[in-house]
């Protein structure tokens, strides 16, 4: 079961926030990339454990990356550690991009971004003859609890979530109430999998931040048959090529700062097979064209008359969903949402 595309307007607010941080983010990425090159060179693939000695290298901007010759996973040549990730989080200041929401803003993000994820998962589970409301759900990397709120609103009663960010958990507790089990934990992903027994595990855009991904795959492999894993990951795509060739904009897809690794269709297949799961459904959509729009709008704002630029960007926006759908249907977009079932 493959689903393609979604309206770009769902994330227009978030892209506007990034637009207004563009110059800061470009400078920050360049600074953190320079810092990353001082770290030791990776010896083994973060996903399959095999040696990277014979793997191909390529330059993304000025930063070298490996493409593993065994599993196809893309990762920075230099291996970051917790100190690097902590430095990134401190310097990035995500609270300036995603401010602590009021009730209206929180509900808006739930409806625009996370309700469609629930609707898709619910539809797939129904086709698999699984009653989503009666299953036990656990989200790893739940952030401020947006997806969990969608579950709660859909009368899913047995839900829990964990995240490393204390402020995000605080927001989640505020909007979800005491009946939803939430906690902050800095343990590794695979330990979070082992600590909680659930029917459904969820991880939206989390795996790309995990060191030693093979341990996650092996922890999933120990789950009982019928366990469901719903996740999303960034994928090397059309916008990755654009980011490699044009360095004057913030590279949201592969930046060497937040994303020091990125999946390919081949490495997703490897991860699924090593985990002992089977893909039941994929939702293929991305924001590649929105990134192009962002670049054009920012770089031309001091070159074009305001009215001309406004009209041209409007034409681009009107064409965005059609252009993005063409990428999605060719599996050339920047993300995959996957629902997999343990064999």
CB neighbours of residue 93 within 10 Å: 11
CB neighbours of residue 183 within 10 Å: 14
Reported as a single tens digit per residue, the pLDDT across 235-255 is: 999 999 999 998 888 999 999
Q: Which two tokens stand for residue 100?
A: 């602590």
Reported as a single tens digit per residue, the pLDDT across 32-83 is: 999 999 999 999 999 999 999 999 999 999 899 999 999 999 999 999 988 8
Angstrom distance (rounded) from CA 30 to CA 230: 33
Question: Which residues share a beta bridge with 56?
Answer: 67
Between residues 98 and 77, the one the model is more confident about:
77
Helices 238-245 and 288-299: crossing angle in degrees, nearest 10, is 30
Go through the domains of the chain in sequence order and give each one's CATH number.
2-342 (3.40.50.150)
Give the per-residue pLDDT at 167: 86
């Amino acid at each position: 079961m493959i689903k393609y595309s979604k309206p770009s307007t769902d994330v227009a607010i978030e892209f506007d926030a990034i637009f207004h941080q563009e110059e800061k983010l470009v400078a920050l990425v360049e600074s953190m990339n320079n810092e990353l090159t001082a770290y030791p060179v990776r010896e083994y693939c973060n996903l399959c454990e095999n040696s990277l000695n014979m793997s191909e290298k390529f330059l993304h901007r000025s930063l070298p990356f490996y493409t593993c010759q065994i599993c196809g996973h893309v990762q920075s040549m230099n291996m970051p550690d917790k100190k690097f990730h902590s430095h990134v989080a401190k310097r990035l200041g995500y609270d300036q991009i995603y401010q602590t929401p009021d009730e209206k803003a929180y509900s808006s993000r739930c409806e625009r971004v996370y309700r469609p994820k629930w609707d898709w998962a619910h539809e797939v589970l129904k086709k698999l003859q699984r009653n989503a409301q009666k299953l036990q759900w656990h989200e790893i990397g739940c952030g401020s609890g947006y997806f969990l709120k969608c579950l709660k609103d859909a009368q899913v009663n047995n839900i829990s979530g964990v995240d490393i960010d204390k402020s995000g958990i605080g927001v989640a507790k505020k909007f979800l109430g005491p009946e939803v089990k939430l906690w902050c934990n800095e343990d590794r992903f695979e330990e979070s999998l082992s600590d909680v027994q659930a029917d459904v595990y969820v991880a939206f855009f989390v795996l790309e931040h995990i060191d030693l991904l093979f341990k996650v795959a092996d922890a999933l492999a120990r789950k009982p048959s019928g366990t469901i894993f719903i996740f999303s990951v960034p994928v090397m795509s059309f916008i990755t090529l654009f980011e490699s060739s044009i360095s004057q904009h913030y590279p949201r897809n592969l930046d060497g700062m937040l994303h020091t690794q990125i999946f390919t269709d081949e490495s997703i297949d490897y991860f699924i097979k090593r985990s002992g799961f089977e893909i039941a459904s994929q939702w293929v959509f991305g924001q590649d064209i929105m990134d192009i729009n962002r670049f054009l709008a920012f770089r031309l704002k001091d070159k074009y008359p305001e009215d001309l630029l406004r009209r041209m960007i409007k034409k681009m926006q009107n064409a965005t969903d059609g252009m993005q759908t063409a990428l999605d249907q060719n599996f050339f977009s920047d993300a995959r949402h996957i629902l997999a079932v343990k064999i």
